[in-house]
Amino acid sequence: MKLRAHSVSLFEVGPRDGLQSQTRVLSLDDREELIVRLIKSGVKHVEVGSFVRDDRVPQLAGTQELLSRLEKRRKSLKKYAPKFWAFVPNMRGLENALATTVDGVAFFVAASDTFCRKNVNRKQDEIIAELELLIPIARKAKMDVRVYLSTITHCPYEGAVAPQKVLNLVNKLVSFGVKEIALGDTTGHATPFQIDKLLKSLLKKHKPTLFAMHLHDTRALALANVSAALNLGVRRFDSSVGGLGGCPYAPGAAGNLATEDLLYMLQAENLLKEKISLAEVVATSKWLEPKLGAALPSKVLKTLHP
């Protein structure tokens, strides 16, 4: 599919997916500052937290208060037109989200039943049954909705995942009213050839606008996988500032695709829809490193700040 200038969008997951696996827990002040820095750099869609129990993921504790703080700053950030998102694992989480002014919610299911149980302690069919209830509620509340569909080619517990499993889940999610499904290469095993094969299978029935890609860079193939998806019409990609991340339920999985690395590639080809300052994102990563007490893995960050 022909690529048009300014057609590709970025979805920033660092403040949620990126922070959840970090050893050091940031204060609410630092998490708020991180989000505001990203917005001021030009990032529009930011996943700011998660409505899970604070004791389950202490790195994301206080999401409700964080959203209250961000709402107070929304007027001063109006020119950036930010969209705040949060991860919602169940009905209780959605009820808490509905009590805030969050713009969008993200749900989860995996193509692997074992990974579903490891991640949220529920079977795949139980998650699907609840999503059938949750998604219409969120849509009726005029929230934007996306679903993370994880382990699209490989599960750390079950091994290779057949494309038909992914297609069956996509069909169900679409029947629930989902308009965006983020396909997750959770362990970073996927190659461009596997992404090509999977997407061609899905695109026989669904339009590429249904899909976003959530790629991990465990084997340094994330950008190659972006290229494969771009060639088949996908135009939305998740990324994480500095390459923060790694899934706590996927042994050996490294960080997400770094926002800086994705920005560099998309801006070099004049593809990015949003006007995002690469220099400001890099500066945010440099600000974040001492807060976390560790160097971040972004390749562009290392190039600009060796």
Taking the C-alpha atoms of residue 52 and residue 268, their distance in angstroms, rounded to an integer, is 38
User: Of 247, 258, 276, 296, which one is the catalytic site residue?
Assistant: 247
Close Cβ partners of 154 (under 8 Å, ≥ 6 residues apart): 160, 161, 185, 186, 187, 189, 190
H or E stretch covering 165: helix 163-175
CA trace torsion 228, 229, 230, 233 (10° rounding): 130
- One-letter amino acid at 54 equals D
- For the question of residue 116 being annotated catalytic, the response is no
Taking the C-alpha atoms of residue 98 and residue 146, their distance in angstroms, rounded to an integer, is 16
Tokens found for residue 270: 């004049």
Question: What letter would DSSP give residue 188?
Answer: S
Q: Please give the full DSSP string across 35-54, using - where no structure is assigned.
A: HHHHHHHT--EEEEEE-S-T
Close Cβ partners of 133 (under 8 Å, ≥ 6 residues apart): 91
How many residues are given for the chain? 306
Which has the closest alpha carbon to 36: 84, 91, 4, 102? 84
Dump strand ranges (E) for the chain. 9-12, 45-50, 83-87, 104-110, 144-150, 154-155, 159-160, 181-185, 211-215, 236-239
Residues marked as catalytic: 247
